[in-house]
């Protein structure tokens, strides 16, 4: 299973490349980190000149993070002259001007000059100095060119592995012609105009229903701007299908257990006040409108209704009692009802209008005449202490059951 960018199922890139020489590296961690970036960019030939840590180094292996083959193939030398003996061209990396009449190249330019030699089968080395003070003058004198980096002159010293990374990157970029290891997958073809226009028609139809295009005289401009937004995205067929689903989910509401309403709690409360003010909760001769209205109220609960319902459902004392929410009882719609217990729970709003109180009193009288017990609960009490309200309801139901026995 590939890790974070490391995939051992893929073949190791083994093409002719420069030799990396580290002169007297002081820390095993830096040797391991240098080996790691070499592996990142397809270099595998590492030579070490008198490394300070004992070799092999456990710390180097730890920092190599899987680039073990670079460390295992590393060659040890007693001097830089021995390490470059078989090389036809040597580049010395340094952050300091050594005052020597040699070409001074950037990493990119040095690789441009090195690449033809490697292609011709020559052995070319890039030399890196000590962490503390880099390469000495006589060591730079052994090189054919100097490689330095465009860095802040006031802070020019790079970590050893960072310097190796910069040169290795330039090498691999040239060797791979700048190709990236992966690209964005084409999971769906570009959407044809026919599909795009069908989406526009659907979107604009739903926006018309909510009166989005206002004022009317700006409708044409708004439509053009809206279409341009989606046209610039260069949508795929899958994108269009997803957007269709988004538009319809917003237009039709959620479905199943997650189905919700379109009103917030304050708006839902105002809806109930409006119904009470117009006595619309009572339709003596027509059951259909009452059932439709109950579905609307059920989909758009107030905060108090939602809190109490969630508490009742979660409380085992109410399991099996058959309470339902916002359903018609005859011509009336009640907040909660158990037909088996013939018990109604009603939530009294904090600021109930006179008309609302009158309608509620008439509803209670109608229910009492048909042997329903009505328990009133204050909305403010639910929001302040729903657990206490539920406990009181459970106690009243138990007491009522005991009285009937």
State the total domains in the chain: 3
End-of-domain residue from the set 143, 175, 207 = 175
In whole angstroms, what is the distance from residue 68 CA to residue 71 CA?
5
- Co-location of 54 and 171 in the same domain: yes
Q: Given phi > 0 = left and psi -120 to 50 = alpha, else beta, which region is 147?
A: beta
Domain assignment present for 185: no
Q: What is the pLDDT of residues 195-248, one digit of tens each?
A: 999 999 999 988 988 888 988 899 999 999 999 999 999 899 889 989 988 888
Q: 375 and 244, same structural domain?
A: no
Structure letter (DSSP) for residue 48: E
Residue 279 placed within a domain: yes
Statement to judge: residues 230 and 348 lie in one domain: no
pLDDT > 70: percent of the chain: 87
Which pLDDT score, from 0 to 100, does residue 393 have? 93
Per-residue model confidence (pLDDT) at position 6: 61
Parent domain of 344: 265-404
The answer to whether position 183 is within a domain reads no
CATH number of domain containing 288: 3.40.960.10
Pair (118, 236) in one structural domain: no
> Distance between CA atoms of 129 and 136, rounded to whole angstroms?
8
Q: Provide DSSP, 80-101.
A: HHHHTTT-SEEEEE-SS----S
125 and 62 share a domain?
yes
Alpha carbons 402 and 397: distance in angstroms, whole number:
9
* Intervals of the chain under pLDDT 70: 1-14, 252-264, 274-292, 401-405
Q: Who contacts 19 (Cβ-Cβ below 8 Å, separation ≥6)?
A: 45, 46, 47, 87, 123, 124, 125, 126
Specify whether 307 is located in the same domain as 375. yes
Cα 84 to Cα 87, 105, 181, 264, distances in angstroms? 5, 20, 33, 78
Question: What distance in Å separates the CA atoms of residue 89 and residue 125, rounded to the nearest whole number?
Answer: 7
CA distance 317 to 391: 9
pLDDT number for residue 257: 38
CATH of the domain at 37: 3.40.1280.10
Between helices 303-314 and 265-277, what is the axis angle to 10°? 110
Residues 316 and 370 in one domain: yes
Tell me whether residue 161 is in a domain.
yes
Residue 259 is assigned to a structural domain of this protein? no
Question: Based on the domain organization, do 240 and 154 belong to the same domain?
Answer: no
Give me the pLDDT at residue 256, please: 40
Distance CA 338, CA 320 (A): 10
Distances (CA, A) of 19 to 35, 110, 206: 12, 14, 66
Give the model's pLDDT for residue 283: 46
Last residue of a domain, one of 116, 147, 175: 175
Does one domain contain both 203 and 342?
no
With residue 398 as reference, give the H or E element that holds it: helix 386-404
> Sheet harboring 332-338: ordered strands across?
323-329, 332-338, 343-348, 373-378
Let me know if residue 258 belongs to a domain.
no
């Amino acid at each position: 299973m590939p890790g974070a960018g490391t995939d051992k199922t893929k073949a190791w890139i083994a093409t002719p490349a420069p030799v990396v020489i580290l002169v007297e590296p002081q820390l095993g961690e830096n040797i391991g980190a240098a080996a790691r970036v070499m592996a990142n960019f397809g270099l595998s030939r590492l030579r070490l000149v008198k490394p300070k840590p004992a070799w092999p180094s456990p710390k180097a292996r730890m920092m190599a993070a899987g680039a073990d083959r670079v460390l295992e193939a590393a060659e040890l030398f007693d001097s830089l002259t021995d390490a470059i003996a078989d090389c036809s061209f040597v580049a010395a990396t340094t952050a300091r001007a050594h005052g020597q009449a040699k070409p001074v190249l950037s990493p990119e330019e040095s690789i441009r000059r090195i690449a033809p030699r490697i292609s011709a089968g020559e052995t070319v080395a890039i030399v890196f100095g000590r962490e503390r003070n880099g390469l000495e003058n006589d060591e730079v004198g052994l090189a054919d060119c100097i490689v330095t980096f465009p860095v802040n002159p006031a802070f020019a010293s790079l970590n050893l592995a960072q310097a190796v990374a910069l040169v290795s990157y330039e090498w691999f970029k040239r060797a791979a012609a700048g190709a990236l290891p992966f690209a964005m997958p084409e999971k769906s073809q570009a959407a044809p105009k026919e599909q795009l226009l069908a989406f526009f028609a659907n979107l604009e139809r739903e926006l018309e229903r909510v009166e989005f295009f206002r004022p009317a005289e700006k409708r044409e401009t708004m439509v053009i701007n809206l279409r341009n937004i989606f046209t610039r995205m260069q949508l795929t067929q899958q994108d269009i299908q997803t957007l269709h689903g988004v538009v319809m989910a917003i237009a039709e509401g959620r479905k199943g257990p997650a189905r919700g309403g379109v009103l917030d709690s304050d708006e839902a409360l105002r809806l109930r006040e409006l119904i009470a003010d117009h006595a619309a909760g009572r339709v003596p001769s027509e059951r259909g409108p009452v059932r439709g209205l109950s579905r609307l109220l059920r989909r758009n609960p107030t905060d108090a209704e939602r809190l109490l319902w969630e508490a009742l459902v979660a409380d085992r004392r109410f399991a099996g009692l058959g309470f339902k929410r916002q359903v018609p009882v005859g011509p009336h719609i009640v907040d909660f009802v158990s037909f088996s217990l013939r018990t109604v729970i009603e939530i009294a709003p904090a600021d109930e209008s006179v008309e609302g109180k009158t309608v509620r009193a008439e509803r209670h009288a109608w229910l009492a005449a048909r042997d329903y017990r009505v328990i009133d609960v204050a909305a403010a009490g639910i929001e302040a202490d729903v657990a206490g309200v539920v406990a009181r309801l459970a106690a009243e139901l138990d007491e009522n059951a005991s009285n009937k026995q």
